[in-house]
Amino acid sequence: MQTIPASTAIAVKDAANLPATVQTNDFAAHAANGQFLTFSLHGEVYGLDILRVREILEYTRPTTIPMMPAFVHGVINLRGNVVPVIDLAQRFGRAATELRARTCIVIAEVEGEDGPQAIGILVDAVNAVLDMDAAQIEPPPSFGTGLRQDFIRGMARSESGFIILLDVARVLSVQEMSNLAGMSHGEALAMPAQS
């Protein structure tokens, strides 16, 4: 596992040096080789396929929307587009993310009924962009992660432990989240992902 070299357009080695907005379109060519944006959430490290990440924003308080599931943190205006922001910790059935200096919003892209849909993901901190080959990625375990198994794409071994690689299409399924808007929080957590 390697961190992308500093000569790359937006090498993210140290989240403390992360600018307010980071564009990731330059990484599209590298993403096919297994590049993942890693981030921290409630003491665990997760990874998203860099092809799904559009940008990283410094945290700004979203506008809250009434009668939404608890994990819908609100919406933000991103260059004239309304983008929902999901508290990933609450989506996983955990306590709400505590807002700190390194808290940020990762803008990911998922397929919706009308084409690509941008969704913000509230995380504790962005860590790095890592380059991984298929040999470093193991299948998800059948137990012990505290997450729905369909949310996990795989597990990657790192020097400090495991990185949980998320299946963004499942975690942020636009159809499933639309269905969840009419349910209670407990019912929402128990519902399986739509494919």
- 8 versus 42: the higher-pLDDT residue is 42
What percent of the chain shows pLDDT beyond 90?
45
Does the residue 195 lie in any domain? Answer: no
- CB contact at 8 A, 1 and 158: yes
Task: Count up the domains in the chain and report the number.
Answer: 1
Give me the pLDDT at residue 67, please. Answer: 87
Does the residue 110 lie in any domain? Answer: yes
Chain segment 38-88, per-residue pLDDT in tens: 999 999 999 999 999 999 999 999 999 998 888 999 999 999 999 999 999
Give me the pLDDT at residue 181, please. Answer: 54
**Rounded to an integer, what distance in angstroms lies between the CA atom of residue 139 and that of residue 153?**
7
- Looking at residue 61, which CATH number applies to its domain? 2.40.50.180
Rounded to the nearest integer, the mean pLDDT of the chain is: 77
Does the residue 33 lie in any domain? Answer: yes
Does the residue 150 lie in any domain? Answer: yes
Please report which confidence band the pLDDT of residue 144 belongs to, taking 50, 70 and 90 as the band edges.
low
**Rounded to an integer, what distance in angstroms lies between the CA atom of residue 125 and that of residue 104?**
6
Chain segment 11-26, per-residue pLDDT in tens: 333 333 444 444 444 3
User: What pTM value is reported for the model?
Assistant: 0.73
The domain of 123 spans 2-190
